[in-house]
Amino acid sequence: MTVCPTDDRHVAVLAFPYGTHAAPLMNLVRRAAAEAPEVTFSFFSTKRSNASVFAGLNQEQLHNIRPYDIDDGLPEDFVPSGNPQDPVAYFVKAMPANYRTAMDEAVAKTGRRVTCLVSDAFFWFCADMADELHAKWIPLWTAGPHPLLAHISSHQIRETLGPDGVIKNKEIDFLTGFNGLRASDLPEGLTEEPEDPFSMMLDKMGDALPRATAVAINSFNAVHLPIAHELESRFHMLLNVGPFILTTPQSVTPDDEGCLPWLETQEERSVVYISFGSLIIPPQEELFALAGALEEGKYPFIWAFRGNPEKQLPQGFLENTKTQGKVVGWAPQMQILKHSAIGACMTHGGWNSILDCIVGGVPMISRPFFGDQMLNTATLEHVWEIGVGLENNVFTKEETLRALELIITSEKGKMMREKVVELKDFAMEAAGPEGDSTKNFCTFAGILSGTHSEKLHQHPHGFRGIRSKIAGAFAAAQNKFNRRHHPKH
């Protein structure tokens, strides 16, 4: 097998510029670039996305990473309608031509052909592009393992559930790791033939991912071993390289509003931390219900609020709760979740937030809004048993009070905390010096620099032989988890 000299290596990084996709990919690439300073990394995203992702990074941190702006596909006379999906639809239609144009520019400027593609997993076209370039392809799936298995099983899901599957809310017991989950928990577009550009992109992705050299995922093996084994069987190579909060460079969020000193004055496991991510603001009637539940239940809280709390929260709420809690514009989320005063986290069920809660050892109350959030919410409640959802997936005052009491004060809530702390221990172990995620990152970096494939080729049983050796260790870890929390089994 011929391996190009390391100093000719050129890795093209294709980011999806919307939501929380580009930043995690950049963090992974930053770590890989530091490990291989002689490799050139070209990072492709829209001008707006690149401005955000590269903000605050100095030349030393970007020694061998260079940004390239790609066309966002918006027409010159585009007027925002307020629907955040509109720019995404234009962008998806512009692919892959916008990436090809920018990649040609990068090849011309560097004098190096592209030897490896690292992309967001959404980009199905990278399978064909890698073949054309005779390059490796490593897509990064930034969400969790259950949605990943669902997307690569989309044809099986439609055939098994049938057109009335969602209406009858059938169980998804035919997929590994999905016991207790139902058709209504699946992301939009999985139970019917896709029609909009975004759903069609995800459908093509499901078909293309098995062609990749390796699939990287922001997760860790022991978060759910049966599904890890299933994904391994579907791909040439599965690389759990997370949680990124532990395994990749992270920016430090300043505590400008004094959340941490305030937490020092609170009782252990009594405070509710509330955050719905950087994009989501619940409907006003739900904000009122949530605020009413906090005030009536007298639960101490920190609320990272996106918007204008004086206009969007009930009149008098901020004054009535000024000693009970804090409503802040931005908060150091990971530091807060690690604090012993935190008893629960209210979240939108995004994968990054779930991982943050796992690493913090905090059980969750999840109100999902779109995408994989419904499936994540059902998984944390019914599979991992480390949190709860809400009836009909909406905040009412009564339902919010029920969920808070369940997690903060009940015996079941105590068991949830024990289980999430168990997963925290597995995550910390995975990210440690000898952990699976650390070893998988070394494999990832080796593929980029052209040093890993040959080693696998020389192994007498290939990657599957290596995998069979570590399967016993995975099973032992899962058995330990089951014995502790399900002794009757």
Which residues are tagged catalytic? 21, 120
Q: Which residue type sits at 249?
A: P
**What residues have CB less than 8 Å from 141, skipping those under 6 apart?**
121, 148, 209, 215, 216, 217, 218
Taken as a whole, the chain contains a residue count of 489
* Token pair recorded at residue 47: 């001008």
**Separation between Cα atoms, residue 484 and residue 429, nearest integer Å:** 18
**Separation between Cα atoms, residue 293 and residue 342, nearest integer Å:** 18
φ and ψ of 279, to 5 deg: -120, -25
**What residues have CB less than 8 Å from 441, skipping those under 6 apart?**
31, 32, 239, 241, 247
3-state secondary structure 170-222: CECCCCCCCCCCEHHHCCCCCCCCCCCHHHHHHHHHHHHHHHCCCEEECCCHH
Contact 221/474 with Cβ under 8 angstroms? yes
Neighbouring CB atoms inside 10 A of 24's CB total 21
Residue 380 DSSP code: I
Cis peptide before 243 (omega within 30 of 0): yes
**What residues have CB less than 8 Å from 149, skipping those under 6 apart?**
175, 176, 177, 178, 227, 230, 231, 234
Cis peptide before 96 (omega within 30 of 0): yes
Contact 116/447 with Cβ under 8 angstroms? yes
φ and ψ of 135, to 5 deg: -120, 160
Contact 441/29 with Cβ under 8 angstroms? no
* Token pair recorded at residue 21: 């996709």
Distances 177 to 147, 149, 171, 187, 432 between C-alpha atoms, Å: 11, 9, 12, 16, 26
